[in-house]
Amino acid sequence: MTRLYAYGAALILILYGFWYYGHTRYEAGKAKGDANVAAIVARDANELIEQKAVAAAIEKRQEAVTAAAERQMMQDNANAVQKYKDTIAALRAGTVRLRHQWTCPGVPAAAASAGKPDADTALREQGAADLIRLAADADAQIRALQAVLMGERK
């Protein structure tokens, strides 16, 4: 019977050894996994910090490009207003003439040029000047938008 107890004790010790070996491997694997997770979290945190810094630099550059484009557009708009005024003055002074499609075919040139310009002439001058101003405003907006897009793509 003592032999049976000895075999039973040996079997228990062997089973305990297997269990202990498995348990230590599990704990080692768990520690290694925890270390890997900690390394990944640290790496991701560093990448996030780097990405935020890059995004902030890009945003700052885009703000500068947008501000420069806005300043240029404001200057172009001011130039458009001046061009509008110059066009009206040139039309009234006679240094610039309207194209044929802007003239009134029923009014002879002598009648339109006698004294003050008639209402039709003033209206045509105003319309031509408005078209020039609107075209200049559109050009200014297009240049500003193109500058912003080119700044974003750099």
Segment 95-122, tens digit of pLDDT: 877 776 666 666 555 444 555 566 777 7
Q: With a cut of 70, say whether residue 123 has pLDDT above it.
A: yes
Amino acid at 151: G
- Binning pLDDT at 50, 70 and 90, where does residue 4 land? confident
Instruction: Convert 77-97 into a string of H (helix), E (strand) and C (coil).
Output: HHHHHHHHHHHHHHHHHCCCC
How many distinct structural domains can be found in the chain? 1
Backbone dihedral angles phi then psi of residue 117, each to the nearest 5 degrees: -65, 145
Domain that holds residue 35: 2-153
Rounded percentage of the chain residues whose pLDDT exceeds 90: 14
Q: Assess contact for 129 and 113: CB atoms under 8 A.
A: no
Average pLDDT over residues 113-142: 77
More confident residue, 98 or 75: 75
Q: Which two tokens stand for residue 36?
A: 């890997």
CB atoms within 10 A of CB 88: 19
Residue 66 parent element (H or E): helix 2-93
Instruction: Give every CB contact of residue 133 below 8 A, 6+ residues apart in sequence.
Output: 80, 81, 83, 84, 87
Mean pLDDT computed over 121-133 = 79
- The mean pLDDT value for 20-35 works out to 86
* CB of 95 closer than 8 Å to CB of 88: no
pLDDT at 56: 95
pLDDT at 110: 47
Q: What is the pLDDT of residues 32-73, one digit of tens each?
A: 888 899 999 999 999 999 999 999 998 998 899 889 888 988
Average pLDDT over residues 137-147: 87
Q: pTM for this one?
A: 0.52
Q: Which residues contact 7 (CB under 8 A, 6 or more apart)?
A: none
Mean predicted lDDT score pLDDT of the chain: 82
pLDDT value, residue 100: 66
